[in-house]
């Protein structure tokens, strides 16, 4: 199973970085939207 995970990561290395940035952007949006009512 570990070998399959490593192979999947090796195959999708190009999109892995973009997906990580997308996940980080979603987390930032979530945090900002939860704190927005405190500023209004």
Question: What is the Cα–Cα distance from 35 to 21, expressed in whole angstroms?
Answer: 21
**pLDDT score for 40:** 77
pLDDT digits (tens, 9 = 90+) for 26-36: 999 999 999 99
Q: Are 17 and 24 in contact (CB under 8 A)?
A: no
Overall domain count for the chain: 1
pLDDT digits (tens, 9 = 90+) for 11-30: 988 898 899 999 999 999 99
Structural domain range at position 29: 2-39
User: 13-39 vs 2-11: helix axis angle to the nearest 10?
Assistant: 80
**pLDDT score for 14:** 82
Question: What is the Cα–Cα distance from 10 to 1, expressed in whole angstroms?
Answer: 14
**pLDDT score for 13:** 84
């Amino acid at each position: 199973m570990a070998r399959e995970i490593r192979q999947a990561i090796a195959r999708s290395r190009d999109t892995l970085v973009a997906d990580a940035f997308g996940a980080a952007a979603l987390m930032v949006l979530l945090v900002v939207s939860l704190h927005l009512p405190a500023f209004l």
